[in-house]
Chain A
Amino acid sequence: MRGWKPAPHVLLLLPAFVVLAAVVIVPLLLSLYSSFTPFRLTRPETIYEFIGLRNYIRLFADREFWAAFGRTVLLLTVALNVEMVLGLFLALLVEKATRGQRLLRTIMMFPMMFSPILVGFQFKFMFNDNIGLVNNALQSLGLTDQAIPWLIDGKLAFTSILIAEVWSSTSVFAIFILAGLMAMPKEPLEAAKVDGCTPWQSFRYVTWPFIMPFAYIAMTIRSLDIARAYDIVKIMTDGGPAKRTEILWTLISRTAYSDARMGLANAMAYVAILLSILFTVMFFRQLAKARQQIGAEW
């Protein structure tokens, strides 16, 4: 080894590369490889058996997988839209506040500070059909006299999960949109007033185009979040009842650990990642377009 003398900068960066390779690249490659094997945790030697694309081909015919896939996309679509509308509303309200805006902003961020697992438990308790707050409140108010099976009925369970998601993450939208509102120059709004705009028209033609890029950033972040959603669903319903709320990552973890079919689970995971990439690319395109529209310099 004597004649080999790397330049000092290479030498200095080497440890970082080694660590990165060990913790990121190797596991990534390993999992990608294992998606081409019938690897089962219970039979470690199966990892050496190469079966090509068989796992992927199986997935394409797997109704359960596509049901979970579809449910994830549905959850993503509905949650993003609801969060977008609520977040916009919240941001507009907070921006109007002349006093205590700082405090309001902090309060608004509270849900984001909870771990998703905690949010899951909290809503599992609230939606419990016997002792839950929601049924209790509904019954006390006389709105219903029976226990609504929130987490037991498939549709209601999905809605309950949606509510938990929305509660925990609407503030992501609110905060990005609020940032946009606060960064927005005030003069064009005044010009719009003079040009004859009603408050709604000012919003529609001036404010909205300006905050759109900020909304798209929030959408990108949240679409990745929801495409990876796991904790809340795991805690609240664990994919039940009868797999009616099974989403991609609960299915993947079940396949990997309960069924011990690691190879298949990894194949699912890679398909799921494609979904995330798809959404990211889509929202980034929109973001670029919206930014160009307002001539943003960032």
Chain B
Amino acid sequence: MATVSLKNLVKKYGSLEVVHAINLDVADREFVALVGPSGCGKSTTLRMIAGLEPISGGHIHIGDRAVNDLPPRQRNISMVFQSYAIYPHMTVAENMGFSLKIAGRSQQEIASAVADAARTLGLEELLERRPSQLSGGQRQRVAMGRAIVRHPDVFLFDEPLSNLDAKLRMQMRTEIKKLHAKVQSTMIYVTHDQVEAMTLADRIVIMRDGHIEQVGPPEEVFRRPATRFVAGFIGSPTMNLRDATVDDGRLRFANGDTLPLPGQFRNRVTAGQKVIFGLRPDDLYPTGHGIHSGEAADVHAVEVPVSLTEPLGNETLVFAEFAGDDWISRMLNPQPLRSGDRVELSFDLSQSHLFDANTEKSLRG
């Protein structure tokens, strides 16, 4: 059983607190991604779990062991670093077998474990090479190999793919997913890339400024973001988010334009309340070029001028002006559009989000 649990975990550098009493429970064999903008405390949190950073408060349990004060070597974890941190003076095989050698395993055992890992990762041909003779992607594999040979309780990944080019990153993403299915270990994966988090994780932890904003499966954080921050962070292109005021059953934007108040929020807001209205580009489409997910009656159409288009082949992103500002909409089966053209946009309000302007929390309840 390799659960990981963080209780009121705090990290301070001197008087500067960078992780503020966070709580998180990771189930056995779960794949959890910590995601958030750069500097929000993801690496610090991961390094505290690894034991590389002393903790300033709270508790960490791995399985049913409190590991607060245990050095990394007693935590039975593996970590893949962003810079790979391969030992430059050892061959690939020596790198991968190092932890077993330290653990005092026999030559034979080490050789067979290394061979196994090499097969999983397609490194068989490279075992005798030195790291300086490897490409970035190969080094990355070696770092992963080093992590898997010892069958740890928990795998920790700190942005393992961020030094790879886009194509290789996608390929490795798939391999990590396969790896998780194969080794069936608990994995905690740090990334600033929400796509990586969405595609890999069973559950996503969204962090901001040393706090946890929301924890949930990818589907849920995408569909039901708990805060304005999560709404803006998850999803690409980003959600349209605009300040509005509740006024007589409608949402009034700064320039006076209005939209009907979405039905699901009718009883959750009061007149005059300041809110933030959110709508994903998927739910805002030129009429006839998208699919509404709720009732047809909840779709509200407005004719607006196009300011800019970004054709992507199978779809086009249309930037159109509404309420004094450009909104991003997604056009399926794209037709050629030019800036200045007028287009009717469908607002699928059943999929819209409302956040309180003060607390920035979702009003969905």
* A145 contacts chain B at the CB level, 8 A cutoff: no
Which residues of chain A are near B84, meaning CB under 8 Å? 187
Which residues of chain A are near B102, meaning CB under 8 Å? 195-197, 201, 205
B83 touches A195 (CB 8 A): no
* A193 contacts chain B at the CB level, 8 A cutoff: yes
Interface residues of A in 159-217 (CB under 8 A from B): 185, 187-188, 190-198, 201, 205-206, 209-210
B77 touches A194 (CB 8 A): yes
C-alpha spacing A191/B142, complex, angstroms: 13
Which residues of chain B are near A188, meaning CB under 8 Å? 85-88
Closest to B76 in A: A196
| Contact status of A198 and B73, CB under 8 A, knowing A187-B81, A190-B81 | yes
What's the minimum C-beta distance from A273 to chain B, rounded to whole angstroms? 34
Which residues of chain B are near A195, meaning CB under 8 Å? 73, 98-99, 102, 146, 150
Chain A, interface residues (CB within 8 Å), range: 20 to 34
Q: How many positions in chain B have a CB within 8 Å of any CB in the partner chain?
A: 26
| Contact status of A193 and B52, CB under 8 A, knowing A210-B89, A295-B130 | yes
* B245 contacts chain A at the CB level, 8 A cutoff: no
Q: A194, A205, A206: which contacts B52 (Cβ < 8 A)?
A: A194
- Most A CB contacts (10 A, CB to CB) among B86, B87, B131, B150 go to B87
Which residues of chain B are near A205, meaning CB under 8 Å? 87, 98, 102
Which residues of chain A are near B83, meaning CB under 8 Å? 185, 187
- Residues of B participating in the A interface, judged by any CB pair closer than 8 Å: 50-52, 71-73, 77-79, 81, 83-89, 98-99, 102-103, 130-132, 146, 150
- Residues of A participating in the B interface, judged by any CB pair closer than 8 Å: 185, 187-188, 190-198, 201, 205-206, 209-210, 293-295
- Nearest 6 A-B pairs (CB), nearest first? A187-B85, A295-B132, A195-B99, A191-B85, A196-B73, A193-B72
A190-B52, A196-B102, A196-B150 known; 5 new pairs, CB 8 Å cut-off, are: A185-B85, A191-B146, A195-B146, A205-B98, A295-B130
* 26 A-B contacts (beta carbon < 8 Å): A187-B81, A187-B84, A188-B86, A190-B52, A190-B72, A190-B79, A190-B81, A191-B79, A191-B86, A191-B146, A192-B87, A193-B71, A194-B72, A194-B73, A194-B77, A196-B73, A196-B99, A197-B102, A201-B102, A205-B87, A209-B89, A210-B88, A294-B88, A294-B89, A295-B89, A295-B130
